[in-house]
């Protein structure tokens, strides 16, 4: 089998595994979601080997989407870290076989403490499935591995089941993009959602001209301002803007009297403005809707700055 054919076969096998997962989903999933929603503590996730790696990803997704969660290594748990599990916590145990010794060792402790538990395994008849409160079946017909040894389809199925839990919980909690941004302040999304226009706008040495300013003055101000535009003012009120594009078009259409043109001849009247306390996401949305790269920033209709598309980080 050639390389591309093998790769496509892997896609096909794993896609079929996910499709089967959806078909087999039952009301146990709903009950598990409701239990997690009612949990007053954290959702602690544990698993060994490849299941543990998937568990870490699920825990990270949960934690960033409104469900307090962290990963606990079952081996470390059995050697002292069980103290991380508090009485109000709920535990998600992952084992494809449902017979992983390190994972099963946690069950007596959980039962004694009264912690609710959810299992993800590919064997509904396993020890793990029978000794947890809720079992989510992630069984697959076959692995993508040609030897049927390396976890491939099974880890994909487990990951997707975790994503299904996380997304469902997000919606049930009415988790918004602003909530997401609070957990991701360092990312571009978090920056746009939490930062205001006033935080990024240019406010010093703004390129300003008067209504009767000459074309030479306008070009000088555009060059020194380095924003590609000047704001046309009249008695401290915004009258319009002139962009470098306006200058180029005027050079083509008014060649004979180009150097006699004034700001009022070139300007776009009533330019788009935005309040300084507006979130960057709204600024981005407005720029996209009206197809501009710059907005004049105002406070009580007084010009205080200029914000441009590159300031938003898109």
- How distant, in Å, are the alpha carbons of 30, 76, 156, 310 from that of 80? 33, 7, 31, 50
Give me the helices (H) in the chain, please.
3-24, 27-38, 49-64, 74-78, 101-104, 107-113, 127-130, 153-172, 177-183, 188-194, 197-200, 215-225, 244-253, 263-266, 280-290, 309-312
User: Is 73 annotated as ligand-binding?
Assistant: yes
10 Å CB burial of residue 231 (0-12, 13-18, 19+) is buried
Q: Which of 163, 171, 161, 160 has the alpha carbon at shortest distance from 134?
A: 161
Pair of tokens at residue 136: 């989510």
| Site of tokens 């490849």 | 50
Residue 238: beta bridge partners? 233
Q: Please report, in range form, the residues annotated as the binding site for Zn(2+).
A: 73
Which segments are annotated as binding site? 73
């Amino acid at each position: 089998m050639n390389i591309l054919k093998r790769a496509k076969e892997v896609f096909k096998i794993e896609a079929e595994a996910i499709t089967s997962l959806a078909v087999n989903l039952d009301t146990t999933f709903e009950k598990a979601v409701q239990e997690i929603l009612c949990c007053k503590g954290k959702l602690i996730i544990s698993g060994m080997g490849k299941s543990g790696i998937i568990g870490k990803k699920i825990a990270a997704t949960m934690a960033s989407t409104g469900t307090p969660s962290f990963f606990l290594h079952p081996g470390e748990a059995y050697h002292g870290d069980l103290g991380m599990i508090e009485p109000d916590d709920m535990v998600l145990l992952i084992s494809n076989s449902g017979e992983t010794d390190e994972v099963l060792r946690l069950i007596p402790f959980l039962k004694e403490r009264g912690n609710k538990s959810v299992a993800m395994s590919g064997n509904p008849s396993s020890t793990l499935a029978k000794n947890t409160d809720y079992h989510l079946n992630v069984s697959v017909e076959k692995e993508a591995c040609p030897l049927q040894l390396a976890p491939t389809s099974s880890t994909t199925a487990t990951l997707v089941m975790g994503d299904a839990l996380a997304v469902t919980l997000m919606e049930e909690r009415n988790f918004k993009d602003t909530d997401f941004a609070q957990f991701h302040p360092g990312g571009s999304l978090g920056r746009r959602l939490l930062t205001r226009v006033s935080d990024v706008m240019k406010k010093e040495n703004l390129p300003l001209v008067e209504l009767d300013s000459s074309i030479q003055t306008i070009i000088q101000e555009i060059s020194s301002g380095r924003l590609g535009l000047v704001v046309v003012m009249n008695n401290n009120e915004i009258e319009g803007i002139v962009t470098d594009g306006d200058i180029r078009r005027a050079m083509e259409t008014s060649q004979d009297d180009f150097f006699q043109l004034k700001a009022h001849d070139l300007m776009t009247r009533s330019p788009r403005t935005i309040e300084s306390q507006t979130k960057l996401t709204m600024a981005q949305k407005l720029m996209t809707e009206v197809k501009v790269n710059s907005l004049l920033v105002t406070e009580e209709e007084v010009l205080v700055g200029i914000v441009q598309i590159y300031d938003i980080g898109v």
